[in-house]
Structure 1
Amino acid sequence: MRHNAGVSKRSAGILLYRPDGPQVLVVHPGGPFFKNKDAGAWTLPKGEYEPDEDPKAAALREFTEETGMALPDHDLVALGEVKLRSGKVIKAWAAEGDFDVESLRSNTFDLEWPPRSGRRQTFPEVDRALWCDPTTARQKLNPAQIPFVDRLVELLR
């Protein structure tokens, strides 16, 4: 999740899963806007990429930046893309793996907070990570990202 003024229209992310269940890893965006939001606010680890950048490489980079864990790229399975109401397109891949949510180490962004205060504060891009079953993931995720969970469940059948 890059916080920049020239908002690009493409993001790439990874839905990490454990086959037992299955369970999927979702993350909660950091910063004051999402502080008290839960249902519909969570996301898969993802971020924007440039038009000339390989989306799969961007997904791997963003996963590492937002969780602190690097993934091998040879295990990724394409989950296609979804379009947000804003028009942004998110491409995602599934990867089987495990992650200790207590070890979450996210990169940070700076923001003027409170607004028009002249004070800049640093916030983590991601402040929490959670393993959950697909039903819980559908409640927590941004609604536009739910198809990624549905596609993964189909693939695992």
Structure 2
Amino acid sequence: MARETSAGVLAYRRRDAGPEFLLVHPGGPYWAKKDEAGWSIPKGLVDAGEASWPAAQREFAEELGQPIVGEPAPLAPCLTSGGKLVLAWLVEADLDLTDLRSNAFEIEWPPRSGRRASFPEVDRAAYFGAATALWKIHKGQRPILAEAISRINA
């Protein structure tokens, strides 16, 4: 069985106080009240036969409603505790996040109710300084962010 692989983009912008990193907060009822370790890089599953950088670009556009433009720098692959491989690219991009337009997903909600409800895949997106981003990002993605911080500060 092939390992599940996700591809994503860690966008950042330079500020006088240091770099800021773009993270997204998952939509839906499960994540509604989670903040610490509840944010992610924009990412999603790589389709069969799809190259990983185009998959990362597709997922970024689906989750934020705008394309990622910039020169991608690959980061080291990251294996999460759940066994998913995350491939990420670092891209410098200062984006306007005021018009967030995310795709949606549907689940049974409330559970066992027989009713279906639709939620945005991403309900918030924001840039954070390195220390805050390390606190907010999913624990399994912290190595991606740590490598990016190290590269930018080098």
* TM-score, normalised by the number of residues in structure 1: 0.91
2:21 is the alignment partner of 1:24? yes
**Structure 1 residue aligned with 2:67, among 58, 67, 70?**
70
Matched, 1:54 2:51: yes
Structure 1 runs (4+) deviating above 6 angstroms are: none
Q: Which residue of 2 aligns with 1:5?
A: none
Residue 55 of structure 1: CA displacement? 0.6
Q: Which residue of 2 aligns with 1:127?
A: 123
> Which segment is superposed worse, 144-153 or 122-131?
144-153
Distance 1:51 1:120 in 2: 28
Out of 138, 141, 145, the position equivalent to 2:134 is 138
**Once structures 1 and 2 are overlaid, which stretch shifts more, 141-150 or 25-34?**
141-150
Answering whether residue 91 of structure 2 is matched by residue 101 of structure 1, we say no
Distance in 2, Cα, partners of 1:33 & 1:41: 10
SS at match of 2:39: coil
Task: State the alpha-carbon separation in 2 of the partners of residues 51 and 68 from structure 1.
Answer: 23
- Counterpart for residue 3 of structure 1: none
Code of the aligned partner of 1:115: P
Aligned match for 1:10, one of 5, 10, 33:
5
Paired letter, 2:121: E
**CA-to-partner distance for each residue in 1:82-141, whole Å, 9 max, x for gaps?**
111110010000111112222111000011100111111110000001110111011000
Deviation of the 1:33 alpha carbon: 0.6
CA displacement at 1:19 relative to structure 2: 1.9
Equivalent AA in structure 2 for residue 41 of structure 1? G
| AA of the residue aligned to 2:8 | G
Gaps of 5+ in 2: none
Per-residue CA distance 1:33-75 (angstroms, 9 max, x = gap) = 1011110110000000124210110000000000011023x61
Share of identical aligned residues, percent? 43
Instruction: Output the CA distance in 2 between the equivalents of 1:19 and 1:89.
Output: 28
Instruction: Give the distance between the partners of 2:42 and 2:77, measured in 1 at CA.
Output: 14
Q: Which of 78, 82, 89 lines up with 1:86 in the alignment? A: 82
Corresponding residue SS for 2:75: strand
User: Residues 80 and 51 of structure 1: is their aligned pair in 2 closer, same or farther, counting only changes over 3 Å?
Assistant: farther
Number of residue-to-residue matches in the alignment: 149
